[in-house]
Structure 1
């Protein structure tokens, strides 16, 4: 009987000691959820306000008190943009430049990353340092040199000029990411392909590239986003509205005496859709590609 009593007391004391731990874990979990909710509201409220403003009349934007849900719901801002050929041209230009930059960047990055990952050659370390160093240079310091270079080459106010300039800033990241991803792939894959009679190109494009789709998707989405949102060089290296991109088109809605706030917000929403759709469609591959090269086995 005494043993049963002692055992009961011991179990009771264990349950009592577990209660503070359970309560602490619950509080920590609740605090983490609260912090995430606050962070989501902090990040999402400007987007919600931008969406709300796009459905308002321009005179309602600064109405007091401010209203997130307007009573004067209107699609005038979207109609003004989608029925204006000059503004639709901004979207076409952005698509042409961003898609070309993404395709060319992936092609060059895959070839360069394969060389860095699989071969040793003189100057490899120096080239890697140069690639990383390019990322550290503030883009604003390169505006004047690139402007003079594009004018001298006859590429000012042209698609090739914008594409080549954007690639200068997308290639370093793409090469670094793809090299890290290829480093996670065993060299036995290359050797097995060569044993079966495949050459270097076949081993790359038919063996490594198909299993590197998550890394390629991650680099492609990031590259598209960088090119699509680029403002500084798109403004400096273009002269006519027929060559302007979406970020410049939004800036052009800022007049000398008045701003078309509702149209600016509508154009911002429309300009955000391509990147958002890309992320939603390739979310799993994008996250997997970003994390796969982070840890080396």
Structure 2
């Protein structure tokens, strides 16, 4: 009787594992199929893109879409614009967020909870809420149609998220470490730079990755603040390929693939930092 029960339990566990594996495979296919189809279309000519039934592999592989995208449309300049804006805004936003998150984590003062709620509320509101005031300020400062306008807008939009994410990492660091450093003669700023920051590097890396991806994929601010095609970002440039009379599916698919590659490389390069940041404080001795 006991043996039969054990066999049934072990068989049930195996079935659960099988269903879990099947479910994971379905989710992976569901998530990656749009990327595969975009890559598939990027190597097809326009006739094969509209063939019926659709072909899951290009019969005649062509690089014409990439040549048109990088040659006539100069998409590599667009990618460089996106990288500059996303990278600069990420560095500034994460640097400011480190100081703000450390202060909110360590110091007690009146109105701290109200300030935390206000920071959170600015992130809860949709980006369109800030378009009119930011556009007015950028226009008065003469920053429209410049990368600086996008950098400042992305800092405003990403800073609350970065602060809230970093607060949890600073809370994991015991205050005794700073106190021991100050006993040895370090100033509060020196203990912050030399003791705390090295311990929160994984959290800073994880925050930088999410901030960079958000800035890279942002569309609304880039569409409104930049009217010059040479300074537009990748999402806006790809959307311009949908015209009133024609949709350039081939170059748009090729541009989508080229837009994904920098993010994949960046995340793979920061993979260890991302994993450490996401699991930081999860296991305690």
CA radius of gyration, larger in: 1
Structure 1 residue 293, shift from structure 2 partner: 5.8
The structure 1 residue matched to 2:37, chosen from 39, 49, 53, is 49
Q: From the superposition, tell whether residues 18 and 39 of structure 1 become closer, same or farther in structure 2 (CA, over 3 Å).
A: same
The structure 2 residue matched to 1:74, chosen from 34, 53, 62, is 62
| Range moving further from structure 2, 228-237 or 193-202 | 193-202
**TM score, norm. by length of structure 2:** 0.95
Could you say which residue in structure 1 is the equivalent of 2:243? 255
What is the 5 A alignment of 1:54-65?
Answer: 54-65=42-53
- For residues 143 and 86 of structure 1, what CA distance do their matches in structure 2 show? 28
Could you tell me which runs of 5 or more consecutive residues in structure 2 were left unpaired when the two chains were aligned: none
Is residue 93 of structure 1 aligned with residue 81 of structure 2?
Answer: yes
Is residue 117 of structure 1 aligned with residue 120 of structure 2?
Answer: no
Could you say which residue in structure 1 is the equivalent of 2:278? 290
Could you say which residue in structure 2 is the equivalent of 1:164? 152
CA contact (8 A) 2:75 2:255 kept: no
Q: From the superposition, tell whether residues 31 and 230 of structure 1 become closer, same or farther in structure 2 (CA, over 3 Å).
A: same
Could you tell me which runs of 5 or more consecutive residues in structure 1 were left unpaired when the two chains were aligned: 1-12
Q: From the superposition, tell whether residues 147 and 105 of structure 1 become closer, same or farther in structure 2 (CA, over 3 Å).
A: same
| Range moving further from structure 2, 149-158 or 263-272 | 149-158
SS of 1:83's partner is: helix
- For residues 255 and 231 of structure 1, what CA distance do their matches in structure 2 show? 17
Q: Which runs of 4+ in 1 moved over 4 A?
A: 293-297
Structure 1 residue 132, shift from structure 2 partner: 0.5
How many aligned positions are there?
Answer: 285
- For residues 283 and 161 of structure 2, what CA distance do their matches in structure 1 show? 17
What is the 5 A alignment of 1:1-297?
Answer: 13-84=1-72, 86-292=74-280
- For residues 108 and 249 of structure 2, what CA distance do their matches in structure 1 show? 55
